[in-house]
Amino acid sequence: MKSTAEVRILVVEDDQFFQRVLQKRLAAEGYQVMAAGDGREGMKAIVAFEPDVVISDWMMPYVDGLELCQSVKTGLREAAPYFILLTAKGEISDKLLALETGADDYLVKPCDMGELLARVRAGLRIVLLAQDLRRAAQESRGAATELAQLRAENARLRVKLGQAPAECPDTPDGGPAGRADERAA
């Protein structure tokens, strides 16, 4: 699990004042923070910075937050960062559209900074657990591959030594069940 200082958060906001407020507050919490002024810059920053969380305004020039979110979620799939959409759009239909498009969370501006930070922490729990799960699955696949190679080598050595191939490779000695007990008797 990453420490707070290793967590990367990208702020995509075209309002320079609000962007700086978010940057300073998140940095004060100990996070690594990068900012982008619009969705195009945000896309580049996601590739370069690889954030764990993206906090994005919805209404921005060039590429809006919803397009950015959809692009990130479609392109990165399970490796996509947690995406919080901030906007002045407070209608329930807007919230539904954002969440159905791929946003993980949605806050209406002006938002309470304490609530935003709580949602960032909640999102980080999800993202970091998913990262740990992917890492464990990769390690498990590697261990399974190594085990298969060891079993194949064991079988090859048994054949070379003139022993019968293992009938039950899952036993501790690599041979048929009960075989170790028979040798001990």
* Mean model confidence pLDDT for the chain: 86
Statement to judge: residues 124 and 179 lie in one domain: no
Q: Last residue of some domain: 136, 158, 175? A: 136
Q: How far is CA 42 from the centre of its chain?
A: 18
| Domain region containing 144 | 140-184
Statement to judge: residues 12 and 77 lie in one domain: yes
pLDDT in tens, 146-168: 888 988 888 888 888 887 665 55
Beta carbons within 8 Å of 122's beta carbon, 6+ residues apart: 105
Distance, in Å, from the CA atom of 113 to the CA atom of 46, rounded to the nearest integer, reads: 23
Statement to judge: residues 112 and 42 lie in one domain: yes
Q: How far is CA 114 from each of CA 22, 121, 169, rounded to the nearest angstrom?
A: 12, 11, 56
Statement to judge: residues 121 and 175 lie in one domain: no
Helix axes 113-160, 16-28, angle to 10 degrees: 60
Statement to judge: residues 87 and 39 lie in one domain: yes
Distance, in Å, from the CA atom of 105 to the CA atom of 8, rounded to the nearest integer, reads: 17
pLDDT in tens, 61-114: 889 999 999 999 999 888 899 999 998 888 899 999 999 999 999 999 888 999
Tally the domains of the chain. 2
Q: Hunting for tokens 């919805």 — which residue is that?
A: 58
Statement to judge: residues 131 and 151 lie in one domain: no
